Amino acid sequence: MRKYLLIGVSAFVLGAGTMAYVSPIAQATSASKGQTYKMLELFGDVLQTVDNQYVSEVDNKKLIEAALDGMLTSLDPHSGYLSPDSFEDMQDTTRGEYGGLGIEVTSEDGVVKVISPIDGTPAMRAGIQAGDYITAVNGQSVLGLTVNEAVKQMRGAAGEAVTLTIAREKTDPFDVKLVREVIKPKATIARMEGDYGYVRLPGFNEKATDALTASINDLKAKNPHMKGLIFDLRNNPGGLLDQAVGVSDVFLDGGEVVSQRGRDPRDIQRYNAKPGDLLNGLPVVVLINQGSASAAEIVAGALQDRHRAQLVGITSFGKGSVQTVIPLRGGADGALKLTTARYFTPSGRSIQKTGIEPDLEVAQTKEQAQDIANRVWFSEASFKNALNADEGKSRQGVHTPAEAPPPGFDDKKGDFQLERAIAVLKAGSVEAVPKLPKPTAKIAEVTAKAAAAAGKAPVVEKK
């Protein structure tokens, strides 16, 4: 029986037996077994009572699927039950072609939250942003629904229109109309930025390593004097573990990429790169942000620890756990998506909750710099039942970022983080690049000054 090792954020892309496993943990005691059987009997009693006495007829299959999902999601945000349809959708997603809107979503306190829109999809073109909440689909509320249920509301045939109601900080709720289409996300986006190559990897599906290799070879062939590479992992929500190892292998000349550590301290699995660096030592800068998660963090952490690349941007999402997808009866009964391990960078860092911190912290916009200075961003640490880092570390709190766009910089036309990545390559290192002045005004300070000027006391939100 095949097990799919997945390390993407707990997300579904809106679109398109029994478990063969023997636990190494000793058998439960007779008392605990008796308690388990008693609770299973209680479950049957509740199901029968609901079936007989609920105000209207119920679908027992849906009730049991919801119970299974609730049991698993109580463990952590990324475990869950996949119905047969959801399991099939997940397989389509990892193959890199599916139908739908192109949004990576998760659930937070019963609300569907956007992890990131995918490049070149209806969601991206409509301006949907990471951190947006989806509160209704075609006027019907999705509040309180599981991610599976909300996804079903949003799915449909290509060419059909769907209206999403979006709640976004600092704005009133608004509707966005999208047209579903067959999603074929580009495996990579590649071009030259002056003397330097640029490759963006939107996700880690089954084509990621091959596509990255082809893009770099193409850039080298067309630009034999290329001086370095910018590798863009911003808003990359992760994907397949073997692809994270394969992508890291493109840049590394052997050595460890990541280790995976399970419930038993002795249960450690290490993944290594093969000899041979495709870029032959050319300097590399990796771009990351709060939407870089899981597989993207494995790659960024490996290249940072191995001193193969320097990182520019802002701290990543912090999703450092591994999910194993275990088909039930070959997928006929769906599958379990179960957290089975944490992953660690080559130096032994757990990324869980803390994320990967860049070598040069650069906010993309002035507004983003103000937000970082005044509120806790949505990340893995935001989930109430997120796994701990297993190191006693905590994520960096509110602070003023090291750099932000200077006055007069046009955020709509320019990419400030990319510009700073190019500056690092030109200077030779983060240490050598001329630093910009730290942003001077936090939004809270500006608000306080404005309120004082108006003769009013500001309202302070405690965090």
Q: What is the pLDDT along the chain (463 residues), one digit of tens a residue?
A: 444 444 444 433 443 333 333 344 444 466 677 888 899 999 999 999 999 999 999 999 999 999 999 999 999 988 999 999 888 877 776 666 666 888 878 777 778 888 778 777 899 899 998 789 999 999 999 998 877 778 778 877 788 899 999 999 888 999 999 999 887 767 899 999 999 999 999 889 889 999 999 999 999 999 999 999 999 999 898 888 999 999 999 999 999 999 999 988 888 999 999 999 999 999 999 999 998 999 999 999 999 999 999 999 999 999 999 889 999 999 999 999 999 999 899 999 999 999 999 999 999 999 999 989 998 888 898 888 899 887 778 898 899 999 999 988 998 889 999 999 999 999 999 999 999 988 875 555 544 444 444 444 333 333 3
The CA-based angle 54-56-60, given to 5 degrees, is 70
Residue keyed to tokens 């019907």: 140
For 379, residues 6+ apart whose C-beta sits below 8 A from its C-beta are: 290, 315, 317, 318, 353, 355, 395
Of 322, 339, 325, the closest CA to residue 84 belongs to 325
3-state secondary structure of 185: coil
Name the phi and psi angles at 109, rounded to 5: 55, 45
Short-list 190, 253, 251, 183, CA closest to 218? 190
Give every CB contact of residue 55 below 8 A, 6+ residues apart in sequence.
none
* Bridge partners for 165 per DSSP: 136, 175
What is the pLDDT at residue 444? 55
Q: Among 83, 292, 294, 379, which one carries the catalytic annotation?
A: 294
- The model's pTM: 0.78
Q: In the annotation, is 411 catalytic?
A: no
Q: Which residues, including other chains, have CB under 8 Å from residue 180's CB and lie 6 or more apart?
A: 99, 100, 101, 122, 155, 156, 157, 158, 159, 160, 161, 162
Active site residue 45: no
What are the C-alpha distances in Å from 74 to residues 60, 146, 222, 384?
21, 12, 52, 10
Q: Say what the pLDDT of residue 441 is.
A: 54
Cα separation, 294 vs 7, whole angstroms = 6
Query: What are the chain's domains?
Result: 98-183 (2.30.42.10), 189-427 (3.90.226.10)
Strands 140-141 and 255-261: unpaired
Using a 10 angstrom Cβ sphere, with 0-12 exposed, 13-18 middle and 19 or more buried, the burial of residue 393 is middle
Identify the three-state secondary structure at position 210. Answer: helix
Using an 8 Å Cβ cutoff, are 221 and 192 in contact? no
Active site residue 210: no
The answer to whether the Cα torsion of 77, 289, 352, 3 is positive or negative is positive
247 contacts 238 by C-beta, under 8 angstroms? no
Catalytic residue among 305, 321, 371, 379: 305
- Would the CA dihedral through 425, 429, 430, 432 be positive or negative? negative
Please identify which of the residues 113, 152, 207, 319 carries the catalytic annotation: 319
